Amino acid sequence: MQQRQHYTPPEILVQRLAEEAHCLREQAKLLPPGAVREATIRKARQAETGSHLIDWLRSPGLKVPN
């Protein structure tokens, strides 16, 4: 059985990525220094970067390269 792909509006995705980044940073604060903490911080940074990329792509100042 084939699954349908659902459309997620960009506003919801940006909000969800920001919330995930916040939660991951809070989790990282509770972890002792080490590989697990660094991986958690890396995931938080990736979520923040994704959120910023979506905002950048939706910005009105974005121009098509010549």
Q: What is the pLDDT of residues 17-55, one digit of tens each?
A: 999 999 999 999 999 999 999 999 999 999 999 988 888
pLDDT band of residue 6 (cuts 50, 70, 90) is confident
pLDDT score for 9: 78
- pLDDT exceeds cutoff 80 at 2: no
Q: How many domains does the chain have?
A: 1
Give the domain range for residue 19: 10-58
> Does 4 reside within a domain?
no
Residue 64 falls inside a structural domain: no
Burial degree of 29 (CB within 10 A; 0-12, 13-18, 19+): exposed
In a domain, 22, yes or no: yes
Residue 23 included in any domain? yes
Is the pLDDT higher at 57 or at 65?
57
Would residue 66 count as lying in a domain? no
